[in-house]
Amino acid sequence: MINDEYFLAALRLASGNDPIPQHVSAAARDAYRLRVPLAVTAVHAESSTIRSVRDDDNSHLVRFVADGLTFDLEVTEGDGLIDVAGHISPYPGEGTLVDVRSPHMTLTRRIAQTGHFVATGLPPGWLSVVCHRPGHPPIQTTWVRVRP
């Protein structure tokens, strides 16, 4: 595993004599912490984008696909927070956990035998979901920006 300080020192050496600005180093450390080692990345399904599904324009659907699994997420915005109702199919198996992540917090949920999960109270902004199946590498969705 790479130590953050060694990683940043290597970047400084590779960049030449000018030191990397402090805010750039901090942003690089923050981005590095968001990675999920050995994860398979689920991408948007071909014809799917975040789109309104209700008249009040506060709910959106998005679909991701990878490694034989389909992630259907309904993202609802309200009171300045984001709620996610998700479904993973086919059912990924007993003991599967889902992390619903923002850059500021992670909510871990067990998946029901129907493949459903819910996470509420996330801050607006960037969102990603990671599925942890026993005996398999994690699968993470790409990051999606949700604006209130």
The pLDDT value recorded for residue 24 is: 83
Q: How many domains does the chain have?
A: 2
Q: Are residues 135 and 83 in the same domain?
A: yes
Query: Do residue 98 and residue 121 come from a single domain?
Result: yes
Which pLDDT tens digit goes with each residue over 51-87? 444 445 678 889 999 989 999 999 998 888 999 999 9
> What tokens appear for 140 in the block?
């993470």
**82: CATH:** 2.60.40.10
pLDDT score of 56: 56
Residues 29 and 87 occupy one common structural domain: no
Do residues 20 and 52 both lie within one domain? Answer: no
Instruction: Please choose, from the candidates 98, 97, 148, the residue with its C-alpha nearest in 3D space to the C-alpha of residue 128.
Output: 98
Task: For residues 95 and 66, state if they share a domain.
Answer: yes
* Same-domain check for residues 102 and 132: yes
11 with 83, same domain? Answer: no
Say yes or no: 21 and 73 in one domain. no
pLDDT of residue 106: 94
List the domain range (segments joined by +) for residue 54.
40-146
Whether residues 19 and 87 share a domain: the answer is no
131-143 confidence digits (pLDDT tens): 999 999 999 999 9
